[in-house]
Amino acid sequence: MGLAESPFLQACAGRIPSRTPVWILRQAGRYLPEYRAVRSRFPDFLSFIRTPEACAQVTCQPVDILGVDAAILFSDILTVLPPLGFDLAFREGEGPRISNPLRSGDGRELPLFDPVAELGYVHDAVRACRAALPPRTPLIGFAGAPWTVACYAVDGGGGKEFSRTRAWLHSDPSGFAKVLERIADVTADHLAAQAQAGCQALQIFESWGGIVAPSDYRRVILPSVERLIARLRERTDIPVIFYCNGASTLLGVLDGLPADVMAIDWRMSLSVARAHVGPRPLQGNFDPCLLHAPHDAIRKAVSLAHAQAAGGPWIANLGHGIMPDAPVAGLKALVDAVHALPPVVAEIED
Ligand code: CP3
């Protein structure tokens, strides 16, 4: 079997695949002892992702260990920040920290940089992953959506509120929209370079989409996502997956987005999402904490999701990244249950 018959790529193309594909958000990660062994060779996360061979090693792990239908490049959505002039560090147990965040009114203009020159280490990692993966396994490249990246660039680190970023959105929407535009342009070029280096699909992470009002998202943020996808489409025709955490508040807003696949979190059902996207491919949306359930409950959740996704192609996945304490056995049970599903999409059920 080659890449053309990949169930994941068939689903991305809008076809009902030969079997239901599954992969896991943040599938290369701390829940795997094999990941922790490679991670321990590096003093910090940034030196790890700047080493293509190590990226290739951990990118392949979930494919070998779990049998997932696609690999996702091992890198991070915040790699665009240093070439945009930000001083980024990942501190142990603390997550990302930016010592010179962008502030409304500070007059700083973000540079338009060439990702091929500045982020070559990511594209080298793509090439190393592609060479190391089984030829039939597609590789997903990725980047953050402009709003989600701006949340870190403006607030300066982790958290869940991003109140400085939201304040800027309200106090100076047109100035803030220019920041989003600049991030959109470099992100489109970075994604195109990942496609060029050997990815078969690209995912855009809107991890903080759900923290703003739908009207603000539509007015200020959505144009930057449309700009990103339009610029990307000029450079590559591989499928684009748009993942939105908090999609339930935004589905009406996101309905017209020209992404090939819509990916959602677990706070809404796949049947409601299906009613919005029609026959377009859907991805998601198990609660990452489901992996702690007895395996029977995991299998039941898989059949329910399969019924709810009916009406178009479905790529099974979690609704957000897997947690470091996730049991590998629960994850294996989920992947196996998806692969045991009948290939034909069932009738719609609530
Ligand atoms: O298998 C994979 O998906 C690995 C590749 C990957 C990582 N980050 C590696 C990583 C991907 C696709 C991401 C995306 C990412 N990064 C997102 C969007 C997805 C989401 O969860 O909403 C976001 C918001 C980030 C930013 C980021 N990177 C944060 C907030 C943190 C710290 C919190 C955490 O999860 O640890 C990171 C660090 C990070 N990125 C780690 C990994 C494996 C942990 C670092 C370590 O091993 O020490």
> How much of the chain, in percent, has pLDDT values that exceed 70?
97
What is d(CA 144, CA 70) in angstroms, rounded to the nearest whole number? 19
pLDDT in tens, 134-153: 999 999 999 999 999 999 99
Question: Which residue's C-alpha comes closest to atom 28 of ligand 1?
Answer: 76
Q: Relative to the CA of 59, which ligand 1 atom is closest?
A: 1
Query: What confidence category does residue 349 fall into, taking pLDDT thresholds of 50, 70 and 90?
Result: very low
Determine contact, residues 6/51, Cβ cutoff 8 Å. Answer: no
pLDDT in tens, 309-337: 999 999 999 999 999 999 999 999 999 99
Report residue 106 as tokens.
């500070």
Query: What confidence category does residue 1 fall into, taking pLDDT thresholds of 50, 70 and 90?
Result: low
pLDDT of residue 162: 98
pLDDT of residue 92: 83
CA distances from 175 to 103, 109, 197, 213 (A): 11, 11, 34, 18
**Domains, the chain, ranges and CATH?**
3-339 (3.20.20.210)
pLDDT in tens, 238-282: 999 999 999 999 989 999 999 999 999 999 999 999 999 999 999
Q: Is 244 in the pocket of ligand 1 (CB under 6 A)?
A: no
Residue 196: what are its φ and ψ, rounded to 5°? -60, -35
Q: Is 206 in the pocket of ligand 1 (CB under 6 A)?
A: no
What is d(CA 104, CA 175) in angstroms, rounded to the nearest whole number? 8
Q: What is the pTM of this model?
A: 0.97
pLDDT of residue 342: 85
Contacts of 45 (CB under 8 A, 6+ apart): 76, 90
Residue 348 confidence (pLDDT) above 60: no
3-state SS string over 5-49?
Answer: HCHHHHHHCCCCCCCCCECCCCCCCCCCHHHHHHHCCCCCHHHHH
Residue 344 confidence (pLDDT) above 90: no
Helix extents (H) in 156-207: 163-171, 173-197
Pairing of β 88-91 and β 95-98:
antiparallel
Distance 318 CA to ligand 1 centre (A): 15
pLDDT in tens, 156-176: 998 899 999 999 999 999 999
Q: Is 157 in the pocket of ligand 1 (CB under 6 A)?
A: no
Active-site positions read 26, 30, 39, 76, 152
Q: Is 78 in the pocket of ligand 1 (CB under 6 A)?
A: yes
Query: What confidence category does residue 93 fall into, taking pLDDT thresholds of 50, 70 and 90?
Result: confident
pLDDT of residue 346: 46
Handedness of CA 311, 282, 132, 237 (dihedral sign): positive
